[in-house]
Structure 1
Amino acid sequence: MLTRRHLRVKVMQCIYAITQSKDDSLDKQEKFLRLSIENTYTLYLLMLCLLRELHAMALHHDMHDSKKYMASATDDFPDKKKFVNNRLLLQLVENPLLNEELKRRKIKGWYLNQDYIKIIFKEIVSNRYYSSYMKKEEGSYGEDKNLIIDLFREVIAPNEKLYEFFEDDKLTWVDDIPLVNTFILKQLKNVKQEQSEQYFLPRLLKDEEDMEFARKLLSKTLLQNKVLEDEIQGKTPNWDKDRIADIDAILLKMAICELLNFPSIPERVSINEYLEIAKEYSTPKSSIFINGILDKLVKEYKSNGKLKKTGRGLL
């Protein structure tokens, strides 16, 4: 789920937190980093729980409608239980491995925040995709899947109330929301009717090396802070660190640290990664500024033998 770029962003967030709080405890920041990474998976599971809660609310409404004597909007639907019987939703609701994982992580879903479920459910039943789907008497797994994809993309992912809820709950979730939503959409598009139950429980990291990469990048950047600052100042004679955006300074230090301490990652890969992060998280001109300094440093490191790279490396 998380790529090396996402891990670099997590490290950047940790270092930024230090600059704002003036708390330079390495142990504390390493714990924060690990928790931030782990919380990404919690957010992912909460979004799956959201789909399950929507199914539960649809089931409740269906049972309520069946006891009504007055006509309702659902009377126009040939099969009122069609959404409740949506095969993709049932894959989530009836997944024993997902149930076990939620229980193991003590994720109790949305029972204390049902107002959010009600808001989204109301938007869903008034959505054109839902109406079109419910007016068809019969359907296939493909149609069931396409409905959930369309509703997730148009109703759930851009919901501002959900965004505010996650923003208030966990600090790092603000940056994780687009990542998790994109990942879930990809999963929904690729899921098959006869999919294994493990499918909705992907690995958070590719392997333990990724976690070690993030931990090492954080610790070495923090421990070598003065040295890294001197490296930057040497390439910008008129450098006034108070005038450089905090994020730019952090990204520069991380990039230099990576160039010098991670021999398996090619210098071009490192530079490109930090330029992309700068475009997303810093000022419009940051990537140009960062690229200029890193290009000078790479040439210098190559000439004096400080840049030692082996292997192809990974993003």
Structure 2
Amino acid sequence: MLSRRHIRVKVMQTMYAFKGGESDDFSKDQKFLLFSIDNMYNLYLLLLSLLLEVQKRAEDDLLKKQKKHLATKEDKDPNRKFVNNEMLKLLADNFQLKNQLENHNITNWELDSGYVDIIFKEITASDLYTEYMQTRTSDFKLDKDFIVDVFKDIIAPNDKLYDYLEDKNLTWLDDLPTVNTTILKLLRKAKPTASEGYFTPKLYKDAEDKQFAIDLFKKTLLNTTAINKEIELKTLNWDADRIAQVDYVLLQMAICELKSFPSIPVKVTINEYLEIAKEYSTPKSSIFINGILDRLVKEYKDAGSLNKVGRGLM
């Protein structure tokens, strides 16, 4: 679920907020970094559980209509296609997903059920729903395609849901594109025979990715003085106040990565930080950062201090 770029963004955000120096204790900041990353999984579970809550809301809606004093024929014999959607049933019956929702205490929709109502009403008012409910018959593929479209076209871009997530946890807004992409990918590839662990993917690809987050944070902070000196020598004609703080943090991390992570190719490091700069800093930041890093890499190569391991890493 978690890409190396997203890990770098999380480290950047923690570095940006850090107010100490390389000699200070930063164990609390490291804990915050890992908590911020782990909390991304809560967002994943929260959005996946929203689908289940919408299904429950649909079931409640049918029951209320059946109990009406002047229930119509349609109220008494409703089209249960959405309530019985096979894709949603696959999610609801997944034991590991149930456990994860309980273990992570994902109970938001019980307390904030108004947002479930908002999504339910948008779904039932959509042309997508009208077309889907024209018949009472379906199969797994049709049900799955419908849920994929619902998530992609109604849930993911919902402004009110976006505002709600922002209020609950500001860092979730950076996680949202990755989480939405992960959920869509899982829904699209889901099969009726999906394993118990299918809907509970690992947050980190492997243990190395988690260690990368810790090492990038610690090594950047522990070498702040030397790294800052290199930046200063390359920005002599720049007023320090004119350099965006985000740019400074990205340069610190990139230089650390170039010098302290021998298995990561130079091009990968530079490209990653340029892309992050384009998204999180000023319009000209990527050009500025690229110029500094290009000159540093040339100097490292000339001095033979760019110690990269493996073929094609230079």
**Structure-1-length-normalised TM-score:** 0.93
On the 8 A contact 2:246/2:281 being kept in 1, the answer is yes
- Larger deviation: 305-314 or 223-232? 305-314
Asked if 2 retains the 8 angstrom alpha-carbon contact of 1:49 and 1:109, the reply is: no
Q: 1:15·1:218 contact (CA, 8 Å) conserved in 2? A: yes
Question: Runs of 5+ in structure 2 lacking a partner?
Answer: none
Distance in 2 between the 1:137 and 1:209 partners? 49
Distance in 1 of aligned mates of 2:77 and 2:273: 54
Root mean square deviation, CA, Å: 2.0
Q: Which residue does 1:100 correspond to in 2?
A: 99
Q: How does 1:14-33 map to 2 (within 5 A)?
A: 14-19=14-19, 25-33=25-33
Q: Which position in structure 1 is the counterpart of 2:267?
A: 268
Does the 8 Å contact 1:79/1:134 carry over to 2? no
Task: Give the aligned partner of residue 297 of structure 1.
Answer: 296
Deviations 1:87-140 (A, max 9, x none): 000111111111111222222241000011011111110011111101123112
Q: Contact between 1:259 and 1:267, CA under 8 Å: does it hold in 2?
A: yes
2:181 is aligned with 1:182: yes
Match of 1:59 in 2: 59
- Which residue of structure 1 lines up, in the alignment, with residue 229 of structure 2? 230
Partner of 1:143: 142
Contact 1:2 1:204 in 2 (8 A): yes
Indicate the SS of the match to 2:18: helix
For residues 313 and 114 of structure 1, the distance between their equivalents in structure 2, rounded to whole angstroms, comes to: 53
- Structure-2 change in CA distance of 1:307 and 1:180 (3 Å): same
SS in structure 2 at match of 1:253: helix
Aligned-residue identity in percent: 54
2:238 equivalent in structure 1: 239
Distance 1:145 1:85 in 2: 12
Q: How far, CA to CA, are the matches of 1:19 and 1:288 in structure 2?
A: 27
In the alignment, what sits opposite 1:169?
Answer: 168
CA distance in 1, matches of 2:13, 2:29: 10
Distance 1:115 1:105 in 2: 21
SS at match of 1:278: helix
For residue 282 of structure 2, what is the amino acid of its counterpart? Answer: T
SS in structure 1 at match of 2:34? helix
Distance, in Å, in 1 between the alignment partners of 2:77 and 2:292 is 66
Distance 1:34 1:179, change over 3 A: same
| Kept after mapping to 2: 8 A contact 1:77/1:135 | no
Give the equivalent residue in structure 1 for 2:42. Answer: 42
Q: Deviations over 1:222-279 (max 9, x none)?
A: 1222211111111122122211111111111100000000001011110011111111
Secondary structure of the 2:290 match is helix
Q: Distance in 2 between matches of 1:251 and 1:16?
A: 9
Q: Which amino acid aligns with 1:57?
A: R
Corresponding residue for 1:82? Answer: 81
Question: Shift of residue 19 of structure 1?
Answer: 4.9
Structure 1 residue identity aligned to 2:96: L
Q: Is the 8 A contact 1:77 1:134 kept in 2?
A: no
- Pick closer, same or farther for the CA change 1:89–1:149 going to 2, 3 Å: same
**SS, match of residue 238 in structure 1:** coil
Instruction: Return the letter of the residue paired with 1:276.
Output: E
Q: Is the 8 A contact 2:80 2:136 kept in 1?
A: no
Question: Can you list the C-alpha shifts for 1:41-88, whole angstroms capped at 9, x where unaligned?
Answer: 01000011111100110111111122235467x939985111000000
Cα offsets for 1:116-165 (capped at 9, x unmatched): 10111111100111111011231121110111111111111111111111
Q: TM-score, normalised by structure 2?
A: 0.94
